[in-house]
Amino acid sequence: MKKLAGIWTALLLAAVMMAGCGNTADQKDSKAKQKTEAFPVTIDDASNQDVTIKKEPKKIVSLMPSNTEITYALGLGDKVVGVTTNDTYPKEVKKVEKVGDMNVNVEKVISLKPDLVLAHESSMSASADAIKQLKDAGITVLTVNDAQSFSEVYKSIEMIGEAAGAEKKADQLVKRMKSDLQDIKEKAKNISKKEEKSVFIEVSPDPDIYTTGKDTFMNEMLNVIHAKNAAADQTGWVQMTDEAIVKLNPDAIITTDGVKAKAVEKRDGWSEINAVKHHRVYDVNPDLVTRSGPRLIEGVEELAESIYPDTFKE
């Protein structure tokens, strides 16, 4: 009887172990199936086209620096096989094949055999022929929106995340950006109405000086830190004359075009501007405040520390 009981016990243990192995295998199969079932995905992109990505992209070409920064921030850098000559961040892009600038080298892109090309709404007209050639070659092209607000930047991140199979990471990135932005807003509450400064942002140098008006993410960045956009009565990106800028008489001037503060202060007729009188001219990293990507929050911080150092510099 003891021997029979031992046999039954051994059989029972074997059955349990086999069941356990079966469950583990089933779980692995289920996870693999879930990952596969994430594709195909269909996305309504910025060109108002329904773009279907049949399977998770293995090779990606980016035609805009902001797209590239988003892709790397989502942990997809190892999939990026082509970028533009304007791409400077992260440092890894220096080693990635270049596919032109605003003028896309179609032959080069095709030779890289990408599964996905990330185009951009801002260059739709300039790149129209190139995009058509890429699509005719059977390459999937997704046009990412030209973000003009934080909410639209979040949309760009989510779009690329969905297209590249990194939705969870996109959600995490957006949540982190929102949290960091909220921290800046909390600090900005310490700035009273009396302390608020008017700010002129120069995005293109003389003789053709351009600034940012309302309905732009740079205007929103100023609002976040309780600064007044001196050109808020304008819309979008507008050209300004020296006379018009002097008349605005901003309390601070921000340059994002590589022009140094000393050069701005030496301009003819600008000596009477409050910002120049009090040496409140600051040159900031243009990539942080002009690229609609994950580093925009760093751009807000740099603006805040320049305009309100006592409040934001620790």
Residue 266 lies in a domain: yes
Q: Indicate the SS3 state at residue 227.
A: coil
The answer to whether residues 46 and 170 belong to one domain is yes
The answer to whether residues 87 and 162 belong to one domain is yes
Q: Which residues pair with 50 in a beta bridge?
A: 44
Rounded Cα distance, 112 and 106, in Å: 10
Structural domain containing residue 261: 191-311
The answer to whether residues 228 and 278 belong to one domain is yes
* pTM attached to this predicted model: 0.86
Two tokens at 246?
């002097």
Number of Cβ atoms within 10 Å of the Cβ of 12: 10
Residue 16 lies in a domain: no
The answer to whether residues 95 and 152 belong to one domain is yes
- Per-residue DSSP letters for 53-80? E-S--SSEEESSHHHHHHHHHTT-GGGE
The answer to whether residues 197 and 167 belong to one domain is no
CATH of the domain at 271: 3.40.50.1980
The answer to whether residues 169 and 51 belong to one domain is yes
pLDDT of residue 314: 66
The answer to whether residues 108 and 197 belong to one domain is no
The answer to whether residues 136 and 244 belong to one domain is no
pLDDT of residue 175: 98
DSSP-H helix ranges across 74-127: 106-111
Boundary (domain end) residue, out of 121, 143, 174: 174
pLDDT of residue 249: 98
Find out whether 151 and 134 touch, Cβ atoms under 8 Å.
Answer: no
Q: Tokens 């008017």 map to which residue?
A: 198
Please give the angle made by the CA atoms of 96, 294 and 128, to the nearest 5 degrees. Answer: 60
The answer to whether residues 161 and 224 belong to one domain is no
Residue 210 lies in a domain: yes
pLDDT of residue 23: 53
Rounded Cα distance, 55 and 52, in Å: 9
Provide the number of structural domains found in the chain.
Answer: 2
Boundary (domain end) residue, out of 147, 174, 201: 174
Per-residue pLDDT of the chain (314 residues; tens, 9 = 90+): 544 445 445 544 454 444 555 555 455 444 444 444 589 999 999 999 999 999 999 999 999 999 999 999 999 999 999 999 999 999 999 999 999 998 999 999 999 999 999 999 999 999 999 999 999 999 999 999 999 999 999 999 999 999 999 999 999 999 999 999 999 999 999 999 999 999 999 999 988 999 999 999 899 999 999 999 999 999 999 999 999 999 999 999 999 988 899 999 999 999 999 999 999 999 999 999 999 999 999 999 999 999 999 999 86
Boundary (domain end) residue, out of 145, 174, 203: 174
pLDDT of residue 102: 84
The answer to whether residues 206 and 160 belong to one domain is no
Residue 234 lies in a domain: yes
The answer to whether residues 58 and 95 belong to one domain is yes
Find out whether 125 and 119 touch, Cβ atoms under 8 Å.
Answer: no
The answer to whether residues 47 and 161 belong to one domain is yes
